[in-house]
Structure 1
């Protein structure tokens, strides 16, 4: 079986830091080849070279056993290489069809000689057909800015497939999908490979690797560690290869897995104990945040349609749901970024938050970890220190907006980087965009948790471990648990059901903008999953 894509002896440096050091990788036609490694291990850098985004400083790139030099992504597309990035490359004001049309090569099925309207209509039809084949519910005429993160991920996958890629590089493609959606997508990926495509699956989900990959390559510190058949290695061995001989991530709290044969008596006893514990907690801990009948403004079906829930001090409330059911809008409403038509947001000791500005909400002790860390939490062109300090400009800790005490800000940023284990920071004056996804997330958490003496009253965490490796995820989860232990109320919004079940004291399910079910921990996976897909 010939190699569809091969990279040998690849070196690449950024700002004096060697991201890739003699790295090598090869994917064959007709296989799904997984690429594992910690955040910052060099996986994305290596695949960005394969996709024509970066030029290697040394080494060779072969496509179908032929050496090539890629002048850019369009050149890669001519070699039928397509990459779905973890951080999306979509134009927010454009529709789904318009974004996909932008990514299509000039010749081919959608001939440039056609009028724009005809080409756009053809794209809409192709999007609808491909989405149906993948099991995606996507409206080709919907604007990207109105889609959830999960829906935008699906658009990126459709864009690559419709551009005719036969070498597909998927960077964390299931990170924001439900179990059922992820399984359907990965079965589709395997079907594409069986039809002759080469698929590179960059992922941190060991179960996906063992279930769907034909081979796996592990990277660490910019070097290739091993290539092996995943079913020949245990999950523990894959984790060891990925992170080295370090402490393993904290095991998730026991939650009944789908299909597990738990006795009815044991299940009833666990439910009773959980209910008793929840009742005892409710009797002691006050309601920190009360969401009452939220309904978002705007024409048509509102994204929030009567959402009601309570989050108590000293608990993690996990909100589960299929992407696009109002999770993002709820997070925006809590932070004051979404106009509301009805309802109330009551913060203990303050009252209704609707009249409070985002700055006032932050001053009240609300820490926010948004789903889109680069779009909403960080300014990539600003330095690490500036991204850390910008959240405290309004409280004059570092002077004023007109005159910043940069020395003091940089010293505080240096301390936080060390305390929160933000790796890859060679200088706190380097651009935040140079950080890997996991370390960028830790910088956001360092900023949010360093305010107000490190004791936030309410933590809003939306998909906090999306796209992170085992160790980075464990560190993020440890911070959320520590916030709970310190008395904070934590609202965890995540489309990763494993994350919700592992962390939450109570689990709510959101469907079409309202909370349709609640469960005390340990929640049964199948019960939560059934509520997520139920029609109400």
Structure 2
């Protein structure tokens, strides 16, 4: 007979929370066992973040109880939760870039000897913690600001371990990681499991949820929908719980042959510091997908076409006429829009309103007269793409990722572009908002725009594209038709493709 599961490390029962009279959590139950990765999923606004903040002491629940390590707890703040043994790694890191790894790990808790900070002890303890999770190659004396995102995340995890955490809450831990860095995080999470730590893992990426978790809890509109064993469900059932529809309905129908128009953009033998010998054609009415591994030249291709890192060699033509796309402004004047992968850093101005963000491109290209008409047009577009906000004056930082992306799209649609370059259009967006973005992209193509879409998510790349080009080492490794499989894309990306695939 199988051994019974261990007693929960954390138990949340009947958790309720309201803000300004709005109910955001209603009677939610959840538990995490030692050595378990328990995933929490749901659309933006489902209540995931609020529940994690209650578990980590940021918020106090209005109703319900928190039981941790066999005792009922009432956390007065995050430090209380840390002392109890609960650590949290936020999507936005809380690190001091000018300080060392060791100084960040022991910030506010520095070991002291004879009244002074014992730096030797701090470095040795940090080194021991790093070694315990297989990260001994990270120097404790390295400055955090000089580390990549993946290693900064390791520092955040070690900070939690330094407080003797028994439960780690991870909020969208792979949102800013490259593909190869995700596998490294997987290995780290599994090491934490082996130590007996419980892990609460919040993610929009279903592949990660299925790869790592033992159980999955689904929230919707602040309520618990279900908790299931990962091995006993699949992506289609999970999505049905989250958004009330089948996974197969994620992607709209591809373009029919009669919906694809003439060639709008051609590049012959294009090259720059990151690209070589690029030849491509992009037609009106189609979605041309761009795949490849991280660093293969996917984003470099989009940036070259937008003039942000322009082609230094080769021939570029729009509607058959030669054109020089030497700057983003030149590309915008030519009717090209670029929806960047770095939405927070390059796509929006967080402290400005929804309306001001939607007007950014128009103001840059057409300053001066016509402001009233432009604002009226942008308001129509914000309504057309279904931006959900308290009002046009609300700061965009308070919108969900999906709604921020819709504002970015409205910003570019205000210029009436003929070519749209999407780089990771649904990164960091929940599954329901992804479907809405996919529908918008396909409708733009049906309305006659030519769409080039870069994506690192293979299901999205295959589901949305009418054709796919795969980048490798700054070149186009090959082209695949609609209906190609994941193995065909990967084979081209790693240089192991059959002749038939190219």
Normalising by structure 1, report the TM-score. Answer: 0.73
Greater CA deviation, 327-336 or 10-19?
A: 10-19
Matching residue within 420, 429, 440 for 2:385? 420
- What whole-Å deviation, never above 9, does each CA across 1:181-237 have from its counterpart, x for those lacking one? 756744653453243111122233445444542222111112222223233445443
Question: How many Å separate the matches in 1 of 2:93 and 2:386?
Answer: 26
Match of 2:267 in 1: 290
SS in structure 1 of the partner of residue 9 of structure 2? strand
Hey, what does 1:317 align to over in structure 2? Answer: 288
Residue number among 355, 361, 383 corresponding to 2:331 in the alignment = 361
Matched residue SS, 2:199? strand
| C-alpha displacement of 1:35 | 0.7
CA distance in 1, matches of 2:57, 2:321: 52
Q: Is residue 2:463 matched to residue 1:502? A: yes
Find 1:451's aligned residue among 415, 423, 432: 415
Q: Residue in 2 aligned with 1:71?
A: 77
Residues 287 and 310, structure 1, Cα contact 8 Å, conserved in 2: no
Distance 1:80 1:441, change over 3 A: farther
User: Could you tell me whether the CA contact under 8 Å between 2:353 and 2:392 is conserved in 1?
Assistant: yes
Distance 1:385 1:16, change over 3 A: farther
Tell me the distance in 2 between the aligned counterparts of 1:44 and 1:125. Answer: 28
Q: What do residues 117-143 of structure 1 show as CA deviations (whole Å, max 9, x unaligned)? A: 97899699869952989xxxxxx8897
1:366: Cα distance to partner? Answer: 1.9
1:484 pairs with 2:469: no
Residue 337 of structure 1, aligned match among 308, 312, 316: 308
Pairwise CA distance, 1:528: 1.7
Structure 1 pair 253/222, CA: closer, same or farther in 2 (3 Å)? closer
Once the two structures are overlaid, the 10-residue window that deviates more, 11-20 or 518-527, is: 11-20
* Distance in 2 (alpha carbons) for counterparts of 1:307 and 1:349: 19
1:378 aligns with 2:348: yes
Contact map agreement 1:253 1:501 (CA 8 A) in 2: no
Q: How far apart are the structure 2 equivalents of 1:387 and 1:99?
A: 36
In the TM superposition, what is the alpha-carbon distance from 1:516 to its structure 2 partner? 2.9
Supply the distance in 2 between the matched residues of 1:128 and 1:194 (Cα, whole angstroms). 10
The 8 Å contact of residues 85 and 166 in structure 2, kept in 1 or not, is answered as yes
- CA contact under 8 A between 1:177 and 1:496: conserved in structure 2? no
Alpha-carbon spacing, 1:236–1:293, altered in 2? closer, same or farther (3 Å) = closer
CA distance in 2, matches of 1:76, 1:6: 14
**What TM-score do you get using the length of structure 2 for normalisation?**
0.78
Q: How does 1:231-310 map to 2 (within 5 A)?
A: 231-244=231-244, 250=249, 285-290=262-267, 292-296=269-273, 304-306=274-276, 308-310=278-280
What secondary structure is seen at the aligned counterpart in 2 of 1:427?
Answer: coil
User: Size of the alignment, in residue pairs?
Assistant: 479
Instruction: Identify the match of residue 392 of structure 1 among 346, 349, 362.
Output: 362
Deviation at 1:472, TM superposition (A): 1.4
Give the conservation status (yes or no) of the 8 Å contact 1:393–1:399: no
